[in-house]
């Protein structure tokens, strides 16, 4: 069975099938570190699963706001016009927690916090924490991952 392991310490996402390694990707987790509380902008820990896959047919660089394509394609000009925007690009894998009281329900609910694995501008440096809580990947990598996983696949996020 396929599963995703996210190592916050190593800033890596590992796709496995049973114990066999499929691929390791460099990522970026939250600049605020790990944590589960609503509004913390931290990456939540523990057992999760992919609740939804969004953007299957979107062209690379498609900009999403509220999980909907805006009609924009990311460019440096667009970035200059919107310097404070949190860029969610190309594909979204929406996570849901599996552990009530830790990352599910109440003030610690990963899904209600809108925590995703998603694409980001390719010029963003990965390998160091820099997100608002999500797991950021380069666009080609998130497309590759998106195409290899199904809704329901387990995702374990470890410090």
Q: Which domain holds residue 91?
A: 2-158
Give the number of domains in the chain: 1
Residue 80's Cβ-count burial label (10 Å; 0-12, 13-18, 19+) is exposed
128, two tokens: 């160091």
Cβ–Cβ < 8 Å for 29, 40: no
The answer to whether residue 77 scores a pLDDT higher than 90 is yes
Which pLDDT score is estimated for 78?
97
Which pLDDT score is estimated for 141?
98
Which pLDDT score is estimated for 19?
83
Cβ–Cβ < 8 Å for 53, 146: yes
CATH of the domain at 76: 2.40.440.10
Buried b (16+ CB within 10 A) or exposed e, 125-159: ebeebbbbbbbbbbbebbbebbeebeeebebbbee
Cβ–Cβ < 8 Å for 108, 101: yes
Which pLDDT score is estimated for 116?
98
**How many residues make up the chain in this entry?**
159
Q: Give the residue-averaged pLDDT of 82-108.
A: 97
Q: Give the residue-averaged pLDDT of 85-90.
A: 97
Q: Give the residue-averaged pLDDT of 54-70.
A: 97
Average pLDDT, the chain: 97
- Between CA 134 and CA 30 the distance in angstroms is 6
Q: What is the DSSP letter of 128?
A: S
Residue range 146-159, pLDDT digits in tens: 999 999 999 999 99
């Amino acid at each position: 069975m396929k599963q995703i392991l996210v190592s916050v310490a190593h800033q890596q996402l590992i796709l496995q099938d049973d114990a066999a390694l499929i691929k390791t990707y460099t990522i970026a987790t939250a600049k605020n570190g790990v944590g589960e509380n609503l509004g913390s902008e931290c990456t939540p820990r523990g057992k999760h699963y992919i609740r939804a896959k969004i953007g299957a047919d979107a062209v690379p660089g498609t900009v999403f706001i509220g999980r909907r394509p805006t009609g924009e394609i990311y460019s440096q000009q667009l970035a200059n016009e919107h310097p404070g925007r949190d860029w969610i690009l190309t594909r979204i894998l929406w996570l849901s927690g599996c552990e009530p009281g830790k990352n599910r329900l109440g003030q610690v609910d990963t899904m209600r916090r809108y925590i995703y694995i998603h694409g980001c501008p390719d010029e963003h440096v990965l390998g160091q924490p820099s997100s608002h809580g999500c797991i950021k990947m380069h666009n080609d990598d998130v497309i590759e991952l998106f195409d290899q996983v199904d809704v329901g696949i387990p995702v374990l996020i470890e410090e």
